[in-house]
Structure 1
Amino acid sequence: MAKIALGTTGEGALPEVWSALVVEFITTFLFVFAGVASAMATDKLAADALVGLFAVAVTHALVVAVMISAGHISGGHLNPAVTLGLLFGGHITLFRSILYWIDQLLAAAAACYLLEYLSGLTTPIHSLASGVGYLEGVIWEIVLTFSLLFTVYATIVDKRGSLNGLGPTLTGFVVGANILAGGAFSGASMNPARSFGPALVSWNWTDHWVYWVGPLIGGGLAGFIYENFFIIGQTHLPIPTVEAALLG
C-alpha cells in the first residue's frame, strides 16, 4: 500500500523545486486564462447554450493537453485535485503538495484578475444548475474528477500505459468529454483552482465549497485506488514529476 510521503521544509530550498513551482504557475495561469476566457467569450457572444458548452469543452481539452506537456518540469498538474491524487499515490510529498496548491491558486487568481482587466467583464463562476442540489453536485464532481485522475494514472503515471506520449492528449480528451457530460449540471469543474480564481475576482462564492469537496474526494480516491490496486510493486516515478513517464 502506498504511503503518503511527508517531506521536509528543506525541499523549499532546492533549486529544482523552485523551477517546478515557476513552471506550475505558468502552466496553471495559461490553463485558467484560456478556460475562463472561453466561458467569457460565449457569454459575450450570446452563443447558443449547447454551442457555448461545446466551445468551452474543446478549449479546456486543448489547453489541458498542451499545458500538461509544456509543464513537464513540474509534472503539469494544473489542479489541486491532481496533486492530491498523486500525493495519495505516493508520487509527491505533502510539503511539496502544499507548495503546489498555493502556487495553483495564485496562478488562477492572477489569470482571472488579468481577464477582468482586459475584458471589463465579470469572470463567470462555477455554480450548480437549477434543480441540482448540493449532494448531487458533489457526486457529479466526485465522479468527473475520479474519471480525470483515473485517466492521468492510466495514461501518464502507470509506466505500462504511457502510450508513446499520448497521455496529455488523452487527459485533455477526458476533460472535454466530462465538461460536455456534466457542464449543464454541476459545471464540471474537476479543479478547485479553476473554480477559485473566478470566485475570488468576482467575489461570488455561490456553491463554491462543492468545487473543493467533490474534486478533492474524487481525485484522492482515484489516486489511492489506482496506486494500490493496479500499480502494486511498481517503482514510483521521481518526485514530483509525473511527466517523466512520458519520456521513458
Structure 2
Amino acid sequence: MVKLAFGSFGDSFTGSSLKSYLAEFIATLLFVFAGVGSAIAYSDLTSDAALAPAGLVAIALAHAFALFVGVSIAANISGGHLNPAVTFGLAVGGNITILTGIFYWVAQLLGSVVACFLLNFVTNGKAVPTHGVASGMSSIGGVVMEIVITFALVYTVYATAVDPKKGSLGTIAPIAIGFIVGANILAAGPFSGGSMNPARSFGPAIVSGNFAGNWIYWVGPLIGGGLAGVIYGDIFIGSYSPVSSQDYA
C-alpha cells in the first residue's frame, strides 16, 4: 500500500531541510564526478571502449567506491539518497514527504549537471558519455533491466538503512549500497548501461545535448524504486506513522 504524504512548505524550508538539500547536491556532485570521470579517464588512457571488460570493472569499482563515500558523507544530514529513484522509493514507503522529495530531486539533478560541466571543463572538452541500451536490445528490455537493478538498490537501502529493526546492520549500509551498485553495473552495464539513477543519466545528457533514450533511465529506476518501497515497507516493516520532513533514513 502506497503511503505518500505531501508535506508542507514550512517543513520543507526549515534550516535542517535546506542543509539536507545542500548535502544532497554536494554528495551527488562528487559521486557523478567520480563515476562519469572514471569512464572518461578509461577511454582517454586506453584504446578500448569504456565497456570493454577491464573498463567495465574499473567503472563499476569507481561507482561503488564513490557511492559508498557519498552516502557516508551525507547520511547524517540528508540520509544520503544521491538518487531520485531512492528518494521516490522512500516517499512511496512514507519515509519522506513528496514536497521535500521534490527539492531532493532538484538538488540531485543540479549536482549531476554541475559535475558533468566540471568534467567537460577540466578535460578540455572531452566527450561526456551518456547512458544507452546496447545494440540489438529493445528500449523495453532496457527499462526492465533498470527496474530490476534499481529494485535491488532501493531494497538494499530499505534493508540496511531504513528498516527500524536493522540494528547494527545500519553501520554497513553505505558499503552494502555501494556494493550493490557496483555489482549491478557489472551485470547490466553492457546491456542497459546500469544507471539505476535518473540524476546520474541526466547530467551527461544535459552536457552532451544527447537525450536519446534518456526516458529509460527515468521510467525504469522510478518503477524499480517505487516497487521496492511498497514491498519492503508493507511486507517487512509493516507499520506506518505519518512522516515529518526529517523522518527519513
The TM-score range, normalised by the shorter chain, is over 0.9
2:94/2:243 contact within 8 Å kept: no
Report whether the alignment pairs 1:135 with 2:137: no
Q: CA deviation at 1:181?
A: 0.3
TM-score for the superposition, normalised by structure 2: 0.93
Q: CA deviation at 1:2?
A: 5.4
1:30/1:111 contact within 8 Å kept: yes
Report whether the alignment pairs 1:64 with 2:53: no
* Paired amino acid for 2:63: H
Report whether the alignment pairs 1:41 with 2:47: no
**231-240 or 120-129: which moved more?**
231-240
Instruction: Give the structure 2 partner of residue 52 of structure 1.
Output: 55
2:11/2:245 contact within 8 Å kept: no
Alignment of 1:19-30 (within 5 A): 19-30=19-30
Q: CA deviation at 1:241?
A: 5.8
TM-score for the superposition, normalised by structure 1: 0.94
RMSD: 1.6
2:12/2:245 contact within 8 Å kept: no
Q: Percent identity?
A: 51
Q: CA deviation at 1:154?
A: 0.7
Report whether the alignment pairs 1:4 with 2:4: yes
Deviations 1:86-116 (A, max 9, x none): 0000000010011011111111100000100
Q: CA deviation at 1:240?
A: 3.6
Mapped partners of 1:164, 1:194: distance in 2: 25
Alignment of 1:100-115 (within 5 A): 100-115=104-119
Deviations 1:37-88 (A, max 9, x none): 0111111122641000000000111111111111020111000000000000
- One of 75, 78, 97 as aligned partner of 1:74: 78
* Paired amino acid for 1:36: V
1:26/1:107 contact within 8 Å kept: yes
2:93/2:233 contact within 8 Å kept: yes
Q: CA deviation at 1:183?
A: 0.2
Q: CA deviation at 1:206?
A: 1.5
- One of 188, 191, 199 as aligned partner of 1:185: 191
1:75/1:240 contact within 8 Å kept: no
* Paired amino acid for 1:20: S
Q: CA deviation at 1:167?
A: 0.8
Q: Report the number of matched residues.
A: 243
Instruction: Give the structure 2 partner of residue 88 of structure 1.
Output: 92
SS in 2 for 1:159: coil
1:144/1:218 contact within 8 Å kept: yes
Instruction: Give the structure 1 partner of residue 233 of structure 2.
Output: 227
SS in 1 for 2:165: helix
SS in 2 for 1:109: helix
Instruction: Give the structure 2 partner of residue 98 of structure 1.
Output: 102
Mapped partners of 1:238, 1:181: distance in 2: 37
Instruction: Give the structure 2 partner of residue 215 of structure 1.
Output: 221
Mapped partners of 1:199, 1:126: distance in 2: 8
- Runs of 4+ in structure 1 deviating by more than 4 angstroms, as ranges, are 234-239
Residues 47 and 225 from structure 1, CA distance in 2 versus in 1: closer, same or farther, beyond 3 angstroms?
Answer: farther
Mapped partners of 2:90, 2:189: distance in 1: 25
* Paired amino acid for 1:198: P
Instruction: Give the structure 2 partner of residue 149 of structure 1.
Output: 154
Q: CA deviation at 1:9?
A: 1.6
Instruction: Give the structure 1 partner of residue 18 of structure 2.
Output: 18
Q: CA deviation at 1:239?
A: 4.3
